[in-house]
Amino acid sequence: MTQKRNHMLSRLVRGGIGGVVATSAMSAVLVAADKAGFMEQPPPRRITKFFMPRPPTPKPVIDVATLISHFGYGILAGAVFGGVSRKPTLAKGTAYGTALWAASYEGWIPALRIMPPAHRDRKDRALAMVVAHLVYGAVLAAALRRIGPRHPKGQPKQEGSRDYVI
């Protein structure tokens, strides 16, 4: 039982690490989309501001809170994917990214009235968010493959060897 628990913990940690890498790549897409004028206000910032206390919070505080919450969400989502996906592939990763986008931008975000549902939002922002989530999922799957187990499947780990490569 302990070995299974350790294996699951390792998969969750790898997923969280992959989530950092994937969120970084996704953030690059969001910055580019914002610079191209697609965003008006990037969704991670709008979501963070929604949860900030009133009266208005200073911009530097919102900037830091947005960064922390965006990466926190990405790490958590990466850990979930790492925990459930035994063989992360590009197809699984992009499907996962698409599912995260749909659950967020057609689900809980409009339900809380933070933003309109994606199908009613600005087309350029909606498209940018889909692309950003596809990038997130693809990079997440690639990162998990890169930091996967070192020893061949079915082979016992040799005494003193490291389990994972980063």
Q: How many domains does the chain have?
A: 1
- The contacts of residue 145 (CB under 8 Å, 6+ apart) are 88
- The contacts of residue 165 (CB under 8 Å, 6+ apart) are 146, 147, 148, 150
**Residue 157 forms part of a structural domain:** no
- Report which DSSP code applies to 119: G
**Residue 46 forms part of a structural domain:** yes
**Residue 151 forms part of a structural domain:** no
**Residue 154 forms part of a structural domain:** no
**Residue 165 forms part of a structural domain:** no
In the structure, what pLDDT confidence band is assigned to residue 161 with cuts at 50, 70 and 90? very low
pLDDT at 154: 53
End-to-end CA distance of the chain: 26
**Residue 108 forms part of a structural domain:** yes
Q: How many CB atoms lie within 10 A of CB 119?
A: 10
Quote the crossing angle between the two packed helices 2-35 and 123-146, to the nearest 10°: 140
From the list 4, 152, 30, 26, the residue with the least C-alpha distance to 78 is 26
pLDDT tens-digit map of 115-160? 999 999 999 999 999 999 999 999 999 999 999 765 555 555 544 4
What is the b/e burial string over 52-67, where b = at least 16 CB atoms within 10 angstroms of the residue's CB?
eeeeeeeeeeeeebbe
Q: How many whole angstroms separate alpha carbon 140 and alpha carbon 100?
A: 13
Residue ranges making up the domain that contains 141: 2-146
**Residue 156 forms part of a structural domain:** no
Q: Is pTM beyond 0.85 here? A: yes
pLDDT tens-digit map of 4-42? 888 899 999 999 999 999 999 999 999 999 999 999 889
Judge whether 95 and 110 are in contact, CB under 8 Å: no
From the list 103, 96, 97, the residue with the least C-alpha distance to 118 is 103
